[in-house]
Amino acid sequence: MVFAFLIALGGLQEPIPDPVALFDDRWTPEARAYLAAGPSVVSISLHAKVMVREGFGRRREQTRLLGQGTGVVIDSAGLVITNQHVAVADPSFSSTPVLTTVTFAEEFGGRKYAARVLSVDQESDLALLKIQGRGPFRASTLGSSENLIKGEKVIAIGAPFGNSHSVTSGILSGLHRKVKVRTQSGRTHLFGDLLQTDAAINPGNSGGPLLNAAGELIGINVATREGADGLGFAIPVDTIKKVLEGSLFDLSHRFWVGMRIGDEFGAPIVTSAHPRGPAHLAGLRTGDLIAEVAGKKIKTPADYASVLLPRSAEAEVSILYVRDGEKGKVTVVLRPAHERNSVGLLGFEVNSVRIPYRRGFWRESLPVLRIEKIYADSPADTLGLKAGDVVIAVRLESDNPEKGWQPVSSFSSLVSMIRGPGFELEEENFWVLRDEESMQGKMQFDDPELGGYDL
């Protein structure tokens, strides 16, 4: 068992330095939310090269800024959610190549990448972009808009008038608002279920996140009421999830197949198969050529995705493949999407709980994850984790080992840190409690797509 026994629960110390002690009154809810969500926020710019007249019949090429906005990384492979009116240029530039770029905040690396539009949903005014760069990228933690409270604090991040990664805050003023907005084409669009906030939202904030005090995404900022102060609106995150599943997103958030399909030599090939994934368990292996899915001939990875897209978890799909010149056929049972991380990435199921926590003279409770089930032959099983163990922190790369430890309060944030950039893979990276003992160990992963998602 790969563990170093450290200290007893009675003498448990904070897993990371206390920000309150470091920053005192400056450690505000806004600062906490920005630190949590800021690495996932990008400013978006659209440029095009146009010909301009200079007089005397002369013309020259000029790069023109067509629009600006904000977006949120929702997948470590570089998928960005934003508004359709941010991602798509004015129709008058439909015949002109448009360059879309995304830029991270300076304090989180300041990297700038080209991006392309994967899909749009005009009805919801949402679009999905793909960063054209090597990840992984830090994905935002998606909250829920189901249990929001009027009056709770909310934080907006955006690029108002080009001032990227600006932070404003306010309260959640209303729910289920019906709002008419004017689109770029001059038409009026009616939104039927928006969040209302008095957090300052200006041109350039569109597509950016509306966060709760925990830094979780609860909405995408979409509009303000002209001529009114303190009247901004956001698309609820639960609406965004439905649109992603229904029209924008790829297969990976609908179910888990456990394999990646690529195009090699003009044919759809299995480029990776997760050892515990449905495809591998059915008999598919890396290098297999996919010939048919559900009785339909497959010539490209896009064909493969289009056949599977209408299906849901628990569906059985027949796949005809070719291996070493011989045909074979298997039936793959599509698994629920969450198993990609519980079964595939980590090898355990968890519940969120709180444990007693002492800081000076004060007693508080610390949100943690309690392991309920361990999957055999998984990273968790190999490390020696057991049901009942409590995960309190994981470690990111840092020159200071103590500062590298980051507290874990939800399963989604745990996955985001592990799949995101800078997760510590070479040293001890898991901190758990077992009964009254505190232990650290190194989890070694076997997910072939660590940092991104396989299907």
Q: Are 170 and 163 in contact (CB under 8 A)?
A: no
Q: Are 392 and 407 in contact (CB under 8 A)?
A: yes
Q: Where are the beta strands (DSSP E) in 198-264?
A: 209-212, 217-224, 232-236, 259-264
- Tell me, what DSSP letter sits at residue 228? -
Q: Are 428 and 4 in contact (CB under 8 A)?
A: yes
What distance in Å separates the CA atoms of residue 152 and residue 349, rounded to the nearest whole number? 31
Residue 206 annotated among the catalytic residues of the structure: yes
Q: Are 13 and 36 in contact (CB under 8 A)?
A: no
Of the candidates 267, 303, 250, the one whose C-alpha atom is nearest the C-alpha of residue 454 is 250
Q: What length does the chain have?
A: 455
Task: Tell me the two tokens of residue 344.
Answer: 């595939």
Residue 125 annotated among the catalytic residues of the structure: yes
Residue 189 annotated among the catalytic residues of the structure: no
Amino acid (one-letter) located at 5: F
Contacts of 361 (CB under 8 A, 6+ apart): none
Task: Tell me the two tokens of residue 109.
Answer: 């690396």
Q: Are 141 and 413 in contact (CB under 8 A)?
A: yes
Q: Active-site residue among 75, 85, 169, 389?
A: 85
Q: Is the dihedral of CA 18, 23, 29, 32 positive or negative?
A: negative
Q: Active-site residue among 125, 250, 288, 454?
A: 125
Q: Catalytic positions, please? A: 85, 125, 206
